[in-house]
Amino acid sequence: MPRLKRTAFAMALAATALAGLPGCRPASIARATTPSDGGALEGASELPARRALARELYVAGVPLLARYAVVHARNIDRGGAEYQGPLNVLHWVMVSAEISRAEPGATEAHEPAEAFTVAASLDLRAEPMVVRVPALPAERTYLLQLTDLQASVPAQISSRSTGNQPGDYLVVGPGWQGEVPVGIVDVIHADTTLVSISGWVQGLDTDSSGARQTLQRGFRIQPLSRHLAIAPPPITLGDWPQPLPADIARHSALFFARLEALLSFVPAQPGEANLRQRLQQLEITPPQRPLAQAATRALREGMADGQREIDQRRAALGGCDPGEVDAAHSDAISRACAAQRTLKEG
């Protein structure tokens, strides 16, 4: 069975927005936005540096805030109009393939005219999840795409890549170092502790109501502890942050405070830029000093700079379709553009 391959998305924030990109802009700004001592921005260059850093962090953070807002609406906000059901459960609906396109980076071609579309959100904070795929007849195709909060695609499980054989796939969060159980087809490593699943299973003309229910029951998500029939790990999970409304997320400096709160879902990885440290340079949260009006204005101007670049990319691409191939999302601007469209379309 071929191993699932990570796409170009996996370089999302570390290779572009979070690394500072000193070789891609004037050296004076590169030095100003990355103080050698990691401290706060100071001196005559403070406002230009703050604006440049705000632009960088805004572009990097847009996918995180946008994708979290979708997960929160669909699987966390039980009283909301868009609520589909709880986390770690597959949710099914019968729609045309025109609507059933997977999320950013989907490469599977020839979607069927009719399909059972499926969606879920995996919470990997406490433990890994096991995604089970049943045996399917050769004429029935399927695609399950996993997308993390950074708009990276850790894997696609599909009839094209793995055939129609049954299998259990272990989805693990950052830093997991447990033992892989016997019988696992592959281990899928995600860079965030919230991961979305979207995809479809081909519908056949011969499907009866009972056959459809049997088909859907064959696909399953369960915690690793339940898969192994052992006690779940003892862990206390924090509350869910409230998403920012889309208009506020584009214009308010609250964006950066919410980004900091969502970093609990993005544990630091070895060798990556320290996003938390870079956010601290903006001095946006207690016990740091209140920002002066000019500093707050610099943050908003930096956000506007980033949004302007996103809008320009949207115009150049003729829309930022979340279902386009990897090449359309190989940089932070395009990913932010696609994430905003995903949020708008729900």
CA terminus-to-terminus distance, the chain: 34
**For residue 65, is it within any domain?**
yes
Residues 173 and 108 in one domain: yes
**For residue 236, is it within any domain?**
no
How far is residue 211's CA from residue 116's CA, in Å, rounded to a whole number? Answer: 12
**For residue 84, is it within any domain?**
no
Residues 44 and 96 in one domain: no
Residues 120 and 162 in one domain: yes
Residues 331 and 286 in one domain: yes
Q: Which of 344, 301, 339 is nearest to 322 (CA)?
A: 339
Residues 14 and 38 in one domain: yes
Report whether 116 contacts 166 (CB < 8 A): no
**For residue 258, is it within any domain?**
yes
Residues 251 and 219 in one domain: no
Residues 221 and 105 in one domain: yes
**For residue 49, is it within any domain?**
yes
Sign of CA dihedral 305, 273, 71, 198: positive
CATH code of residue 191: 2.60.40.1610
Q: What is the pLDDT of residue 4?
A: 46
The last residue of one of the domains, among 228, 254, 279, is 228
Whether 308 has a pLDDT exceeding 90, the answer reads: yes
Residues 162 and 220 in one domain: yes
State mean pLDDT over 313-333: 69
**For residue 233, is it within any domain?**
no
User: Looking at per-residue confidence, does 49 or 6 come out higher?
Assistant: 49
For the chain, the farthest-separated pair of C-alpha atoms sits apart, in whole angstroms, at: 72
**For residue 250, is it within any domain?**
yes
The last residue of one of the domains, among 200, 228, 256, is 228
Report whether 29 contacts 279 (CB < 8 A): no
Q: What is the pLDDT of residue 115?
A: 79
pTM: 0.79
How far is residue 121's CA from residue 74's CA, in Å, rounded to a whole number? Answer: 9
**For residue 198, is it within any domain?**
yes
Q: What is the pLDDT of residue 295?
A: 86
Determine the residue type at 314: R
Each residue's pLDDT tens digit, 213-265: 899 999 999 999 999 999 999 988 888 999 999 889 999 989 999 999 999 99
Q: What is the pLDDT of residue 288?
A: 53
User: Looking at per-residue confidence, does 7 or 159 come out higher?
Assistant: 159
The domain total for the chain is 2
Each residue's pLDDT tens digit, 18-34: 333 333 332 222 223 33
Question: Nearest 5°: phi and psi at 128?
Answer: -65, 165
Type and span of the H or E element at 96: strand 91-96
- Domain with 189, as residue range(s), is 91-228
Report whether 246 contacts 341 (CB < 8 A): no
Residues 96 and 220 in one domain: yes
Give the DSSP per-residue string, 160-214: HHHTT--EEEEEE-TT---PPPTTEEEEEE-SSSEEEEEEEEE--TT--HHHHHH
How far is residue 70's CA from residue 191's CA, in Å, rounded to a whole number? Answer: 18
The last residue of one of the domains, among 175, 196, 228, is 228
Residues 204 and 275 in one domain: no
How far is residue 195's CA from residue 175's CA, in Å, rounded to a whole number? Answer: 15
Q: What is the pLDDT of residue 170?
A: 98
Q: What is the pLDDT of residue 143?
A: 95
Tell me if residue 135 falls in helix, strand or coil: coil
3-state secondary structure 322-340: CCCCHHHHCCHHHHHHHHH
State mean pLDDT over 10-24: 34
Residues 98 and 32 in one domain: no
Residues 39 and 137 in one domain: no
Q: What is the pLDDT of residue 7?
A: 39
Q: What whole-number percentage of the chain has pLDDT above 90?
A: 51
Q: What whole-number percentage of the chain has pLDDT above 70?
A: 73
Give the DSSP per-residue string, 10-78: GGTTTTTGGG--GGGS-HHHHHHHS-TT-----STTHHHHHHHHHHHHHHHHHHHHHHHHHHHHHHT-T
Strand partners of residue 115: 95, 202
